[in-house]
């Protein structure tokens, strides 16, 4: 399938500068695009690549000079490019297969319309699977767990008993939802397990990466807010409440009973202790260790994490240490001379 530059521009509400009749068959990065492909510049840093790219058309923002290239000018070029990628390539297709004869579905489970359940899936007693949801091989859906509409559950996912998954949720392979939280009462040197009788609620439009682990609440729920996206290998503790539209990069760990606002971003391998409050639109740096409450809008880095500006000062002071040492030496020498009356 190909589309003209004109058609692409109309699809995203952009304006063409150059030849709107070129046929485009695919999308790629500036460096790897070939003739007949569309690319994008969302960042001033990459403007220099506009001249050398082999892309036939480039989606650019409002203030970027076309430099002789055919361009589609848009307000939000990365988003417009994404829409074009969806138009040209689409998302992964899921072949409808219905309910596999090799799946094991409890008699009193409720299965919606147009559901695909692949081989070796277990749907436990009283579970509910919403219309249009796809469950790939070797997943287990625990007793009483409810999954909404149009979800995609990739292979080898386990969802424990009593959890609630919203609509249009995607969970990638190997992830686990609803295992027991890490709760023990230690008495005379022995750790006694605290019953973990809560659950996990995953709201609409969440995407969970591969091999993530989300603890159920001890009492009450662990909640992942609407539209939040996880990369891989992420761990969420019991009773943590994550707000809407957050982004969690790979291997982030958030301990139990922490409350996090909306539109927060956690870079890779960041860790957050339990029982704190993090506001809205907070940015946490890679490998940061968050140990205290964080106000809305703050950017924090380091372990233990401190505000970004403060951290920059510390780094600067560390860099000045050799200079401090030299000054100390010079001054000691001068003082010695003064004392000797030289």
Whether the CB-CB separation of 262 and 281 falls below 8 Å is answered with: yes
Q: Give the nearer residue to a copy of itself in terms of CB position, either 67 or 314.
A: 314
d(CA 168, CA 171) in angstroms, rounded, equals: 10
d(CA 235, CA 175) in angstroms, rounded, equals: 10
Q: Give the nearer residue to a copy of itself in terms of CB position, either 64 or 200.
A: 200
Return the DSSP state at 76. Answer: S
Whether the CB-CB separation of 210 and 192 falls below 8 Å is answered with: no
Q: How far is the CB of 312 from a copy of itself (least distance, A)?
A: 12
Q: How far is the CB of 104 from a copy of itself (least distance, A)?
A: 4
Q: State the catalytic residue, choosing from 11, 172, 191, 238.
A: 238
CB atoms within 10 A of CB 43: 11
Q: Give the nearer residue to a copy of itself in terms of CB position, either 113 or 190.
A: 190
Q: Give the nearer residue to a copy of itself in terms of CB position, either 104 or 110.
A: 104
Whether the CB-CB separation of 22 and 57 falls below 8 Å is answered with: yes
Whether the CB-CB separation of 68 and 47 falls below 8 Å is answered with: no
Q: How far is the CB of 274 from a copy of itself (least distance, A)?
A: 9
Q: 263 catalytic, yes or no?
A: no
d(CA 342, CA 338) in angstroms, rounded, equals: 6
Q: How far is the CB of 98 from a copy of itself (least distance, A)?
A: 14
Least Cα distance to 228 among 262, 201, 200 occurs for 262
Catalytic residues, which ones? Answer: 238
């Amino acid at each position: 399938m190909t589309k003209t530059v004109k058609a692409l521009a109309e699809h995203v509400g952009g304006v063409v500068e150059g030849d709107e009749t070129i046929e485009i068959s695919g999308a790629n990065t500036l460096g790897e695009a070939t003739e007949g492909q569309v690319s994008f510049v969302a960042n001033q840093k990459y403007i220099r690549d506009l001249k050398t790219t082999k892309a036939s058309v480039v989606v650019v923002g409002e203030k970027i000079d076309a430099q002789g290239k055919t361009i589609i000018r848009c307000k939000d070029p990365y988003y417009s490019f994404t829409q074009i990628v969806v138009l040209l390539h689409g998302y992964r297709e899921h072949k409808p297969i219905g309910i596999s004869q090799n799946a094991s579905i409890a008699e009193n489970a409720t299965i919606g319309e147009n559901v695909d359940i692949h081989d070796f899936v277990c749907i436990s007693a009283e579970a509910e699977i919403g219309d249009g949801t796809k469950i790939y091989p070797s997943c287990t859906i625990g007793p009483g767990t409810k999954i909404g509409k149009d979800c995609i559950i990739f292979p080898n996912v386990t969802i424990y008993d009593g959890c609630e998954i919203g609509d249009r949720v995607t969970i990638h392979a190997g992830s686990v939802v609803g295992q027991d939280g890490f709760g023990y009462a230690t008495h005379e040197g022995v750790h006694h397990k605290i019953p973990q009788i809560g659950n996990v609620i995953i709201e609409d439009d969440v995407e969970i990466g591969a091999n993530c682990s989300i603890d159920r609440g001890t009492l009450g729920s662990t909640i992942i807010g609407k539209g939040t996206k996880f990369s891989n290998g992420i761990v969420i503790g019991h009773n943590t409440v994550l707000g809407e539209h957050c982004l969690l990069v790979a291997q982030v760990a958030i301990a139990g009973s922490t409350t996090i606002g909306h539109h927060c971003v956690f870079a890779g391998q960041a860790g957050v202790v339990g029982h704190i409050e993090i506001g809205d639109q907070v940015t946490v740096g890679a490998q940061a260790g968050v140990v205290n409450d964080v106000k809305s809008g703050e950017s924090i880095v380091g372990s233990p994490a401190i505000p970004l500006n403060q951290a920059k000062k510390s780094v600067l002071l560390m860099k000045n240490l050799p200079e401090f040492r030299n000054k100390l030496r010079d001054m000691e020498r001068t003082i010695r001379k003064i004392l000797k009356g030289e």
